Amino acid sequence: MVTPFVIILLLSGPLGIAIIGSKFAKKPLNVQKYACWGLGMAFIFFFVGHFVKTQGMVEMLPPWVPFRAAIIYLTGLLELLIGIALFLPRHQVLAAKVAIVVLVVFFPANVYSALNGVGLGGHQWGPVYLLIRGPLQVVLIAWAYFLCIRVHNKQTV
Residue closest to 157 by CA, chosen among 31, 15, 36, 39: 31
Give, in order, the Cα–Cα distances in Å from 77 to each of 13, 82, 136. Answer: 23, 9, 22
Instruction: Please compute the mean of the pLDDT values over residues 7-27 and round it to a whole number.
Output: 96
Cβ 23 vs Cβ 83: under 8 Å: no
What is the value of pTM for the model shown? Answer: 0.92
Inform me whether the pLDDT recorded for 106 exceeds 80.
Answer: yes
Q: What residue type is 29 in one-letter code?
A: L
Total domains in the chain come to 1
Task: Decide if 155 is inside a domain.
Answer: no
Check residue 156 and give its pLDDT: 46
Q: Is residue 73 over pLDDT 80?
A: yes
Establish if 157 belongs to a structural domain. Answer: no
Q: Which has the higher per-residue pLDDT, 122 or 4?
A: 4
3-state secondary structure at position 117: coil
Instruction: Identify whether 117 is part of a domain.
Output: yes
Domain that holds residue 131: 3-149
The 10s digit of each residue's pLDDT in 18-50 is 999 999 999 999 999 999 999 999 999 999 999
The confidence score (pLDDT) of residue 21 equals: 95
Considering the domain boundaries, does residue 33 fall inside one? yes
Note whether residue 105 is domain-resident: yes
Residue 107 forms part of a structural domain: yes
